A and B are shown apart, each in its own frame.
Chain A
Amino acid sequence: MSDRARLMGWLILIAVLAIAPLFITSGRWIGFLEMTLFIAVLGQGWNILGGYGGQYSFGHAVFFGTGAYIQALLQFKFGWSPWITLWFAVSGAALVGAFVGYLSFRYGLKGSYFALITLAFAEAFHVLSRSFPSITEGGRGVQLALNQDPVQAISTFQFNFAGPFLKAYGFYYTIFAILLLTYWVTWWMERSRFGAQLVAIRENEDAAEALGINTFRVKMGAICLSAAVTASAGVYYVQKYLFIEPGIAYGPTKSVEALFAAIIGGVGTVLGPLLGSFFIHGVGEIAKEIIGPVFGDRPGVDLILFGLILIFVLAFVPRGLAGLLEALWKRKVGGRNA
């Protein structure tokens, strides 16, 4: 697919995502879109390291949680502005990325070993966050003060009690802006020399090393960037829900959601995580609304269906939805390019 066609496609998609919500008055569907974009950002963070770099992490929550906790604690303990704390949140997570990356790559961990060590780090942070309540509020979690004054909505970065437009769309455009930024960074990375080196490492690390690429440095860059992107999702979460606790921050849920979105959507592509997230949430809604009631709303049905579809997609659509789209496009324009 030519770059120009790709660019056109992206511009159309961005325009749709930017304008369509204005035609949606249903809070529930705006919420659905917010959730979907949120996971799309989370997934993109994972994708940078896993999809492009081939280093599959099973503990990406460690970056999400760190970003979320820094964002929450600096506001909670020192009353700083959320617009300032977010820089600390993102860079703090990048530092954690550097720490995890340094240890893992310095000692040459790859494949399943790398996956396992990220799992261990996520769990370690989970334990730490609940064991030092004087620092992190422990199991109680950090509850940020709710702002009910519309005038302060922007300065407190909270839109639940803002003016009509912000109340309905404030959070949507926040996560949309984060998506635009992080996806643009990924797009840029894909086309940069750094990105090419990263992909080379994914394909064959030894060969890349032999070609003179400083694989350690490139992987470190990837993990720091990945951490920063993932942390931005953490920042959004804290502002939207005003609450964070060890289980939400460092539990396995966010790690799993991140990697599922990226893999289902198509690893190593910019569009992948977004597609994957839409697919996952769409299926989830269908399962809840249509299948669930058939079984008398007994719990578990929607998740069974979800798991089955996941396995199906993994079995029959290995390059993810993005790969599928690419194949369809090729077939459509195949005649012309032949």
Chain B
Amino acid sequence: MTKHTTTNKTRRQFIKTAAAGTVIAAAGITGFPYIARAAAAVKVGIVHPVTGWAQYSGSQCRFGAMMALDEINAAGGIKSLGGAMLEAMLGDAQSKPEIGAAEVEKMNEAGVSSIVGAYASNICLATTQAAAKHGIPHVVDVGVNDKIVSRGLTNTFRFGPGFGIITKAGVEGFLAVNKAAGSPTKRVVIVHENTTGFGAGIAGLMTKGLNPAGIEVVEVLPHPTPNKDFRNIALKIKEINPDVVIPSHYYNEGVLFLRTLQRQKIQPKAIYSVLGGASSQYRFLAEFPDAAQYVMDCNHWFDPKNQAAAAARNKTQAADKHYSYEVFLAYTAMKFTADAIERAGSSDRAKIVEAMASSSWSDHFMPYGPTKIVDGQNVGARPLVTQILGKNIDVIEPPEYATAKAIFPRPA
């Protein structure tokens, strides 16, 4: 950081004394930053539900996006635009799709060049549509519903995985873990939320994936969001006595479910979640370490071997926040946006859309490899399978990202 500033000042002085007026294209090759002339800021809209039912997740997303934006500015802004700073325009979708769309209209008026948002799938559907009307590139940070990218809107991009990819990885990861332990799993139970749709979709796909491998899905137990009681589900699990329980829901329900199982002394061979709300959350591990042990989750995760990811985690914790998937997904979405603006060399919406569609960005800390966008979806995106072991959340699948070996079945 200091090195940059010193170099900046030195260069500025040099240019002044030399009275040169040309922009240094060569700086891109040599790696030196551009002179920080007062270049017009590039506005980026950041819309999330920071009030209403999704307020926690929305706030986490906003935090992650802003953290990335601040980092980009601190590192000199958009070099190809002469060090133009990114200017955030924050919007609150109030957990309602129509308000999200209204915020996008406001952002359009304010002349944003791009938008990042909006956490919840149903809000994303509305915001991407509103953005499409004005040709504003819109990067979806979380929203896993596959309909978001399959409507044929050319302005919509998703850097992270949709639930089709997530579930496929979930099945593969489970079969791998199962195989490594000698395939002890014959019968499973799926517990999922059914109020916002992602749970039901995952349950269907999991069943289709597990059956051919000889694993019977004995029962699928849906529940609403919010859910205040899991006793019935716990009792049913006790009666069925499956080898593995596969939950898929939001954080609060995840916590309550796992605590209920703990209180009822129900311990299947494993809890293997797919988008389990609490199963890969540091917060849950901190508050209920005993209930969290050995829980596995196929969920959004960063590349554990990447230093930048650890740095972001430290920064987040220093701000007294939890390093949850909302933070690093929104962070990455913002960086993806900045990279596209950088490559477009312009704040023009259409050029940024083009840059995003042709992106091959690889300077990120997600386990996606180099970016490749097909119909708005980054096809390299994938979740990782984690397991809570002791005080850590380790990656257990796939092997190229693993930091620990899975413990399955869990010890009694």
Binding site for B on A (CB under 8 A): 26-28, 31-32, 35, 130, 133, 138-141, 143, 145-146, 148, 160-161, 167, 237, 240-243, 245-248, 253, 288, 297, 299-300, 303
In this complex, what residue of B is CB-closest to A35? B102
SS of A interface (majority): helix
Once bound together, how far apart are the Cα atoms of A24 and B205, in whole Å?
48
Q: Mark B201-225, 1 if CB is under 8 A from A, else 0.
A: 1000000000000000000000010
Q: Tell whether, in the assembled complex, residue A242 and residue B129 are in contact, meaning their CB atoms are under 8 Å apart.
A: yes
SS of B interface (majority): helix
Additional A-B contacts beyond A146-B129, A241-B97 (5; CB < 8 A): A130-B224, A139-B197, A143-B125, A245-B197, A299-B55
Once bound together, how far apart are the Cα atoms of A246 and B196, in whole Å?
9
In this complex, what residue of A is CB-closest to B154? A148
Once bound together, how far apart are the Cα atoms of A330 and B31, in whole Å?
75
Once bound together, how far apart are the Cα atoms of A240 and B99, in whole Å?
13
Q: Tell whether, in the assembled complex, residue B98 and residue A148 are in contact, meaning their CB atoms are under 8 Å apart.
A: no
If A139-B200, A253-B96 touch, does A27 touch B101 (CB 8 Å cutoff)?
no
Residues from 126 to 153 in B contacting A, C-beta threshold 8 Å:
126, 129, 132-134, 145, 147, 151-153
Binding site for A on B (CB under 8 A): 50-51, 55, 59, 90, 92, 96-98, 101-102, 105-106, 108-109, 122, 125-126, 129, 132-134, 145, 147, 151-153, 193-197, 199-201, 224
Contact partners of B109 in chain A: CB under 8 A? 26-28
* Among B51, B98, B133, B151, contact of A167 (Cβ-Cβ < 8 Å): B133
Contact partners of B108 in chain A: CB under 8 A? 27-28
Q: Tell whether, in the assembled complex, residue A138 and residue B129 are in contact, meaning their CB atoms are under 8 Å apart.
A: no
Contact partners of A161 in chain B: CB under 8 A? 133
Once bound together, how far apart are the Cα atoms of A27 and B101, in whole Å?
11
Give chain B nearest CB distance to A37 CB in angstroms. 13
Q: Tell whether, in the assembled complex, residue B197 and residue A303 are in contact, meaning their CB atoms are under 8 Å apart.
A: no
Contact partners of B193 in chain A: CB under 8 A? 139
Once bound together, how far apart are the Cα atoms of A300 and B49, in whole Å?
11
Give chain B nearest CB distance to A158 CB in angstroms. 10
If A31-B102, A248-B97, A303-B51 touch, does A143 touch B147 (CB 8 Å cutoff)?
yes
Q: Tell whether, in the assembled complex, residue A28 and residue B125 are in contact, meaning their CB atoms are under 8 Å apart.
A: no
The 26 listed contacts between A and B (C-beta, < 8 Å) are A26-B109, A27-B105, A27-B108, A28-B108, A31-B105, A32-B102, A35-B98, A35-B102, A130-B195, A133-B200, A138-B194, A139-B195, A139-B196, A140-B201, A141-B122, A143-B125, A146-B153, A160-B132, A160-B133, A161-B133, A167-B133, A241-B129, A242-B129, A247-B195, A299-B59, A303-B51
Q: Tell whether, in the assembled complex, residue A160 and residue B102 are in contact, meaning their CB atoms are under 8 Å apart.
A: no
Once bound together, how far apart are the Cα atoms of A32 and B133, in whole Å?
16
Give chain A nearest CB distance to B112 CB in angstroms. 12
In order of increasing CB-CB distance, the 4 nearest A-B pairs are A140-B197, A299-B50, A139-B197, A28-B105
If A140-B197, A299-B50, A299-B92 touch, does A243 touch B106 (CB 8 Å cutoff)?
no
Give chain A nearest CB distance to B124 CB in angstroms. 10
